[in-house]
Amino acid sequence: MYTLLPWGIDCLSAHPRVPWDTLWIRCGWWGMSMASVLIWVQPWLDARSREWLRLATVLVVPNLAIAVVVWRLGGVQSPLFAWFCAMPIVGVLMATGNMRAAVVGAVTSVLSALSVLVLSGQPLLSVAVWGLLVALAGVMAVQATHFYVQLQRARAQEEVNRRQAQEMLEATHRRAVEADQLAQVGRLVAGVAHEVNNPLAFIQANLHFLHEQLPRQGASLEEFVEVVRETQDGVVRIQQIVRDLTGLARGSLELGPGDLSACQLHILIVESMRLASLRLRKLAMVVEVPPEVPLVQADARRLVQVLLNLLLNAADALEEARVATPRVVLQVSTTPEWVRVVVEDNGPGFSPEHLTQLFTPFFTTKAQGKGTGLGLAVSRQYMESFGGLLSAENQPSGGARFILSLRPA
């Protein structure tokens, strides 16, 4: 079919004569193409030889065969002679991006066209004009191939640059993450030091008491037992703080199945006030707890830590604002679904921009070195681990208000 269809065109060009000679030429062309394919698959043929064989099969042999066919069909007078101007473009399409193929195709097209012109006995001017036209087509084909090759190189370089930029961006991001992690570790260390100061203070006071009272005769045994118990509780609280701050750095403060229990809220309130007593002695403390408060679902030690944080924050805010008559109010109320604890003070309250960031880790409104911004973040995660809520707002009359919502046990 690949031979008969082109030969049909030959017949139309040579009408009324039947060009049997061009049929044999095209059959020979087809036979050479098949032979080159058989040679191509031989394992002994190296890459360079395969390249030249491909050029000969795709460009050189077709140009020579077409030159003979055109010459046999009337030379310049044949409608097929104009095919020589298209041959370089066809060669470029068949070997896209191959500069060597473009040059070989252009040269063989020019030589084939000149051969037909000379064999047809055309005058020199006609040979020159047709030669220039075919040469111009060849130059255009070579130039197009050059532009295509440059475009492919530019795209390849752009891809390399993009990958390098992506790698640099990822490396920069990794360094930024590492730097942020190091900064968080530093803030975490500062936070641990800040948070453990509270239990350390009464541990130190208890140890000082033991040091002073042990040499005395007749000291109360119950008093010593109570001091030792408080000291042990302080050590356990320090361990819990360190463990929870580490969990905060990892993004998790999960409780085990045995950590939640039914807690008596009024006992935990008294405990938190006792631990904060040194900071609360300079202000008025008002506590309003109904007689019948249901047990709440929580971890007792952590809930004490939450209440202690809120009381100490209120004391710090009142001290910093230099309020004339500082006052902290702790109120408990109940609903069928919640037990609510409200801690409020008569300080300046929160600015709108600070109110939205209160529970963000490491955000603090305190002076440099006085706060790390971890207390409220940890407290909210404690409350959420109990199945409860912790929120903050400003009182209509002024001052800050924190609301703890706990589930009844």
pLDDT tens for each residue of 70-91: 766 666 767 667 767 777 776 6
Tell me the longest C-alpha to C-alpha distance in the chain.
143
Amino acid (1-letter code) at residue 175: R
Section 102-119 average pLDDT: 77
Most confident of 11-20, 98-107, 238-247, 284-293: 284-293
Residue 334: per-residue pLDDT: 92
Whose tokens are 């000082």? That residue is: 208
pLDDT at 227 over 80: no
Q: Which of 199, 202, 405 is nearest to 309 (CA)?
A: 199
Say yes or no: 199 and 323 in one domain.
no
**Out of 14-23, 170-179, 190-199, which region has the weakest mean confidence (pLDDT)?**
14-23
> What does the block give as tokens for 309?
């944080």
Looking at per-residue pLDDT, the higher value among 336 and 191 belongs to 336
- List all residues 6 or more positions away from 356 whose beta carbon is below 8 Å from its beta carbon: none
Section 49-76 average pLDDT: 69
**pLDDT 10s digits, 374-393:** 778 888 888 998 899 999 99
Say yes or no: 44 and 140 in one domain.
yes
Say yes or no: 363 and 265 in one domain.
yes
Residue 176: inside a domain, yes or no? no
Domain total for the chain?
3
Say yes or no: 36 and 146 in one domain.
yes
pLDDT at 398 over 50: yes
Question: At which of 113, 147, 162 does a domain end?
Answer: 162
pLDDT at 27 over 70: no
Residue 388 burial (10 A CB sphere; 0-12, 13-18, 19+): buried
Say yes or no: 321 and 218 in one domain.
no
Give the global pTM. Answer: 0.45
Decide if 102 contacts 141 (C-beta within 8 A): yes
**CATH assignment of the domain containing 207:** 1.10.287
**Out of 114-128, 141-155, 242-256, which region has the weakest mean confidence (pLDDT)?**
242-256
Residue 146: inside a domain, yes or no? yes
Say yes or no: 238 and 272 in one domain.
no
> What does the block give as tokens for 267?
């006992």
Say yes or no: 325 and 195 in one domain.
no
Question: At which of 250, 272, 292 does a domain end?
Answer: 250
Residue 174: inside a domain, yes or no? no
Beta bridge partners of 334: 339
Decide if 382 contacts 271 (C-beta within 8 A): no
Residue 241: inside a domain, yes or no? yes
**CATH assignment of the domain containing 270:** 3.30.565.10
Residue 177: inside a domain, yes or no? no
Say yes or no: 238 and 312 in one domain.
no
Q: Which of 345, 341, 348 is nearest to 320 (CA)?
A: 348
Say yes or no: 99 and 152 in one domain.
yes
Residue 323, SS3 per DSSP: coil
> What does the block give as tokens for 217?
């005769």
Residue 152: per-residue pLDDT: 83
Residue 322: inside a domain, yes or no? yes
Section 147-175 average pLDDT: 85
**Out of 57-61, 167-171, 340-344, 399-403, which region has the weakest mean confidence (pLDDT)?**
57-61
**Out of 255-259, 364-368, 392-396, which region has the weakest mean confidence (pLDDT)?**
255-259
Most confident of 137-146, 158-167, 245-254, 257-266: 158-167
Say yes or no: 352 and 399 in one domain.
yes
Residue 1: per-residue pLDDT: 46
Amino acid (1-letter code) at residue 348: P
Give dist(CA 43, CA 258) in Å, integer: 75
- Cis (ω within 30 of 0) for the bond into 16? yes
Residue 185: inside a domain, yes or no? no
Angular region, 116: left φ>0, alpha ψ -120 to 50, beta rest: alpha
Beta bridge partners of 285: 328
Section 242-255 average pLDDT: 57
Count of residues for the chain?
409
Decide if 289 contacts 272 (C-beta within 8 A): no
Residue 74: inside a domain, yes or no? yes
- In 64-223, DSSP assigns E strands to none
C-alpha dihedral sign at 332, 333, 334, 340: negative
pLDDT at 272 over 70: yes
Looking at per-residue pLDDT, the higher value among 299 and 196 belongs to 299
How many percent of the chain have pLDDT more than 90?
Answer: 17
Say yes or no: 209 and 142 in one domain.
no
Say yes or no: 236 and 369 in one domain.
no
- Domain residues for the domain of 104 are 4-162
Residue 154: per-residue pLDDT: 87
Residue 397: per-residue pLDDT: 85
Section 165-175 average pLDDT: 83
Decide if 98 contacts 54 (C-beta within 8 A): no
Q: Which of 240, 245, 254, 360 is nearest to 302 (CA)?
A: 240
Decide if 310 contacts 279 (C-beta within 8 A): no
Mean pLDDT over the full length of the chain: 76
Looking at per-residue pLDDT, the higher value among 132 and 304 belongs to 304
Looking at per-residue pLDDT, the higher value among 209 and 304 belongs to 304
Question: At which of 250, 276, 301 does a domain end?
Answer: 250
